[in-house]
Amino acid sequence: MNSYHLKVVTSEEVAALRGIAIQTFREAFEVENAKKAFEKYLNDKMSLDHLQSELDNRYSTFYFLQKGEEIVGYLKVNIEDAQTEKKLKNALEVERIYLLTKYRGKGVGNLLMDKAVALAKEMGKDKLWLGVWEDNPSSIKFYQKFGFKIFDKHTFMLGDEEQLDFLMKLEL
């Protein structure tokens, strides 16, 4: 895994962030979802303006996972007011963790999750949490491998379509 490295995404890299965000989201979810709702989500939540506002939030941080110069995945973590739910105290949220399909199942995703765990510990957080689509068994299994357990549910809006996410947490 030596050829992989993580780096903080800067405002100047918003276009690259948009590229990897759209590509990985399409690879992960496009075939299972209604085209209209899917495209609305991409247009709303992955626009340059929306991503720039997320990059500008001091309570959110994005990381690129790179193999050489190629961006192969990314991670977005939130604390404080940037968290999508305020159900847990002293917690770090993993809002997004995505890899290109060709890198899945090879242990590469562990680098992203290990970074999230390390960040939470560095910040003195005692919990790490995330939301995962109920119809995404491979990701649920990945998180369970790290010790995450389902503790609640919430609605995720994919465009105009309601979906159910399991909320999972890891006690640190």
155 with 161: CB under 8 angstroms? no
Catalytic option among 63, 98, 103, 143? 143
3-state secondary structure the chain: CCCEEEEECCHHHHHHHHHHHHHHHHHHHHHHCCHHHHHHHHHHHCCHHHHHHHHHCCCEEEEEEEECCEEEEEEEEECHHHCCCCCCCCEEEEEEEEECHHHCCCCCHHHHHHHHHHHHHHCCCCEEEEEEECCCHHHHHHHHHCCCEEEEEEEEEECCEEEEEEEEEEEC
- Which of these, 126, 96, 112, 77, lies nearest to 24 by C-alpha position? 96
Q: In the structure encoding, which two tokens stand for residue 72, read together?
A: 């192969």
63 included as an active-site residue: no
Give the active site residues. Answer: 143
